[in-house]
Structures are given as structure tokens and as C-alpha cells.
Chain A
Amino acid sequence: MGIIESDGGHLIRKGEGVDLEMTANVIEVNRLEHSYGSVKAVDDISFNVKEGEIFSFLGPNGAGKSTVINILTTLRKIQKGEARVNGYDVAKDSKSVRKSIGIVFQMLCLDHEMTVCENLEYHGKIYSMPKKERKERIEELLKLTELEGKRDTLAKDLSGGMKRRLELARGLMTKPAVLFLDEPTIGFDIQTRMRMWEYLREIKREGTTIFLTTHYMEEADQLSDRISIIDHGKIIVTGTADELKNKLGKDLIYLETSDNKTVAEILRAIESVKAVTEDTKSLRVLLGVDVTHVLPLIMEKIRQAGIEITTVNIKKPSMDDVFVHYTGHGLREGEPKEKEEGIEIAGVME
């Protein structure tokens, strides 16, 4: 375990009275619950985020991700449970928590009538950074986010991706111990998104812990050290992308047959088949062993039952499969809403 203080550079030191064994956790959440009226948005969630890692909450819209982020950033009052950020209790010491963190909100919120530099300058000012420190930090961040050439451009004249980068720079202005990002690449095309990931990896290399929410599988998969899949306000499973995929099984077969129902029955009886899920058209078959060993057996059994196989597709489990496996549904439910938000953001950008 690294010694926290030596990691240096953070504006705020760790809170006092933190158990030594626990100092490796920058975020600690214990039995968090939150309801809006009778609707339970967050249902008994516990997790830790270790220093220096990128930790993702992956889940559909309405899963409770934003509520958790709002509680951790003290924007929403905690109702039940405990949460500590950078060693500070979010309920009792919100001011210290706020000084320890940077936030990139889901919605773009830049002052469009101010330049890139002025936006950063304002942020430094409201966090009481001394002038010299502000100037130095702005230079560092412009360099990191490759906005040096845009320093005197009004925020409204930036492209969508640049605006997001400016927000990223702003979130990092005070050298926070943790950077929170709520759906950082929502509504962006894949190139912009991948570039954003590069910046986030760079920030991680500089030692900043990152907590992000996303409903993009690839984002969680490519970027995160650890992922929690969250659905209906509960954490379904937590682990590294590889761990989650390996837990699922070695290989995955997609089958389309003339009688999916019967085939599902047949396959469930085979020992090396871990799970079978029925989709509208196809069957998803998770294998505990290498596909080469069981495929002939599977084909044989189906043929014996007199059922015709129309398609066979073999692949390694992806984050998508992990998600479907643990939640029992795809992320599709969230899709229309995502589009709405995308439009809304585009509207704000103009």
C-alpha cells in the first residue's frame, strides 16, 4: 500500500483519524440508501474506491448512478448509510469534501460568454487559489487538454469535444484527490469519446483517482480498473473487466434454431454449459470450458432432437454479455432516454 502523503500535490490532505489500513480507499461507501418519495433510487449500496484507480459505475439510465455521484459530491443530502470521500464524512464535513474533489457534470455547464482561460480562472478564484498557483495550473491544464491554442476563445465558439475538455480541465483545476465524472462522453461520437479516454488515462497516470458513471459498455471496459454494474439502485457485481468476463465463462455461443425453447432445455442438461439465456430470436449459451470441446456435442444433441440450426456464432464474452448476464436484460431500455439527453446537450451547446 502506498503512503498517501507522498503522492503529494493534492490541495487537501487526508482527513485525520482515518484508519491506516483504510487509507488506500479514497471513497468509502457503506450501506447507502436513497429514495425519492416512495421510489428507491439507491438500495443498500456499499463499495470502496482505491487511490489512483479509475472506478466505473456501469448501468442504464435511472439505475441510480447520478444519485450516488450527487451524494458523494455533497450535492444531495445523504438519507441513509455512510459515505466518506478523501477521508471526510459527506454528511458532516461537506466543505472539506468539496475542497477535495473535482466534478464534471453530465450536462455541459460552462460560461459561454467567457473565454477558456476565464472559465478556468473563475474556478480557481471560487476555490480561493492564490493567483500564482492559478496561473501555473491553467498553463498545465491547457497543455494537458491541448487547449493552448484556444485560451482566448469564448467557450461558445468551442466544439463539443473541446467544451468537454475544458470542463475536464476545470474539474482538475484545484488538483483534486478525486475527479467525479457523470457520463463524461454522453452524446459524443466514438472518436471524440476515445480521445476523452486518452485524457482520462493521462490524468490517472498523474495520480488522480477517477470515479465515473457511464452506460457505455466500451467506456467501462476500456477505461476502468474496476467496474460496478448497477441496476435498479443495487450493485449487482464488482470487479475488473477481465474478472467479470472470466466469471461468465470461457466462451459464448449464439445460436439460432427452429425451436429455441426446446434447445434451451437440451443445453441446460449439458454439464459444461454454465447458462442459457433466451433472447427474442437467439440463444446465448455460456460455456465453462473451451468451445472446441463442447461444440460437437451440442450440435449432435440438437440434431438428435430433430431441430434445425440456422446460425452459430462463437465469441469471447464482452462487457455486453457480462451486463446481460448479471442484470438479465440489455442496456437497451436506457437507449431512448439517452438520445433525448443527447439532444438536450446538443441544444445547450449551441
Chain B
Amino acid sequence: MNFEFRAIYWRDMLKFFRFKSMLISSLIQPVMWLAFFGLAMSESFDKLTSVIPPIAGVQNVDYLSYMGAGIIAMDVLFSSLFGGTSLMFDKKYSLLRETLASPVPRYHIILGVGLSGVTKAFIQTSMIIGFGKLIGMDFFMGYTFTETLIAIIGIFLLVGIFTLGFLFLSGSIAITLENPEGMQSILTLLSMPLFFVSNALYPVDAFPAVLRFLSMFNPLTLLADGIRYFALGNNFSVMGIHYMYTSADIAISFLGLLFFALTMLATSLWRFNKVDV
């Protein structure tokens, strides 16, 4: 009879759909990324790289499709990284008090908030894939129906684990800090290296060795790679760079993200159990 996390989830979703500004902006944001950043970047990248001859015998993928995976990764990164902020306001305005004083175990709060974050991330991922297909993103090209289905499930699984990891991280920070300004600056600081030291938007092959090495451990890289594996296949080229994913690569993506999410879960449990009412 331990389903209290559903109550937390219920409340979170209720408010998500009630705050029209929150709802609409979270739906529009991914579309804007694709429409403005995506189209602009892909046009110039494709132009710049048009002189590079495509690798023979390998399916060539345009930049828009390549970065489409990165846009999904980035979009869910930002919404989950900032997703914990609401917990800080809940704490600040004593909204958490009622829940913290109830018999509900603390991990149910984390679980409920995590699940609602995953739901929102799924909505955003669907938006990007849907709109991306509309403007010519080559996701699931030449896939059968079953293959597409498996690919979508794979992407959602990765997105889910990734989102939980960053929500737990952001929740831990939110519950530990007292003021929103501090939270804001920490999150901005965190998002910088995550964002740029990854292959979400561009290949890392030309990175300095140190950055390339670091990018391998970046959850954003793991997610972008995983999404590309599922959406674009295990053998394609983009801008003259040959991408080949083996089963080991996709396993690393899954395990890496899982490890990250579990570590963050442990951190958030530790932080939440310390919260005083």
C-alpha cells in the first residue's frame, strides 16, 4: 500500500497543466530550438561541409538530423536541470511542510517529482521528433514499423534515465540551498561545460584531447549517442565523419546514464533525509 508518490505526481502534473504559461513554454521551447537554432545552424553547417565528399557506401545524414538528437538531449537537460527549482520554492513557501510532516517516506517525494519530470521530458521529446520530422529531420529513415517502435522505446528509456539523473541532482541542490539566486548561478555554471563539452551539437572529433576525453563521460554525450543509435542507425556519416555504433557503445550509454542516475538518486536521498521542517 505504498503508493503515496502517486499523490506527489498527481499534484505536480495538475499544476503543470494548470500553469498555462509553464505548459505552453515547455511545449514551444523545443520547437523554437529546432526552428531557429536548428535550421540556422544546419543551413550553414551543410553549406560549409558541402565540399567534403560523402563517404562511399555509408548513408549520409544531414546536420539537422544529427543535431536533432542533440536538441532532444539539450532540451531535456535544461528542463530537468532547472526542474528541481520548484522544490526550492515549495520549501521556501512552506509547501513542503505538509508533505514532510506526513508519514510519507522521503523517497516517495523524490520519486513523485522524478516521475512528473520524466512525463514532461517525454512530452518534449515527442514534440521535437514530431516537429523535426515535419521540417525534414531524417529520424527512423527506412525503418520498418517494428524497428521504429523499438527505436522510440529506446530513446524514451534513455531520455527517462537521463532526466531522472538531472532531476535528482537539481532536487538535491534545491533542497540544500536557501536562496534561488544561488541555485540559479550553480545551475548556469553546471550547464556550461555539460552543454559545450559534449557531442550534442557538433562532433567532438576535432576537440583538444582533454576535452574529447572529458566529453566521453558527459551524460549529454551518452544520451546524444544513444538517441543517434536508435534514430539514425549504427552506421552513418555526417559532415564527412563516419559514425559507427556497436552494441558495446549503446550498452555504455545505458549503463553510464544508469550509473549517473543512481548516484544522483543516492545523493538526493541523502539530502532529503536531512531536510528539517
**A→B interface (CB under 8 Å):** 70, 73-76, 95, 98-99, 103, 105, 107-111, 113-114, 118, 122-123, 125-128, 170, 348
Contact = CB atoms under 8 A, between A and B. Distances in A.
A114 B19 CA distance: 11
Contacts of A105: 94, 97-98, 101
B7 A122 contact: yes
A118 B12 CA distance: 12
A113 B4 contact: no
B7 A125 contact: yes
A111 B93 CA distance: 9
Contacts, number: 63
A34 B131 CA distance: 60
Contact of A114 (B11, B97, B103, B104): B11
Interface residues of B, number: 25
A98 B102 contact: yes
Contacts of A107: 94, 97
A105 B277 CA distance: 11
B10 A75 contact: no
B99 A126 contact: yes
B2 to A, nearest CB: 8
B93 A109 contact: yes
A74 B103 CA distance: 10
Given A75-B100, A109-B94, A126-B104, 13 more contacts: A75-B277, A98-B103, A105-B101, A109-B97, A118-B11, A122-B7, A123-B98, A125-B4, A125-B6, A125-B10, A126-B7, A126-B8, A348-B93
B18 A113 contact: yes
Nearest to A95: B103
Contacts of A73: 101
A70 B94 CA distance: 15
A128 B14 CA distance: 19
B95 interface: yes
A103 B94 CA distance: 13
B189 interface: no
B1 A128 contact: yes
Pairs of residues from A and B, 7 with the lowest C-beta to C-beta distance, nearest first: A125-B7, A109-B94, A98-B103, A75-B277, A126-B7, A109-B97, A126-B102
Contacts of B145: none
Contacts of B133: none
Nearest to B109: A126
Nearest to B93: A348
Contacts of B6: 125
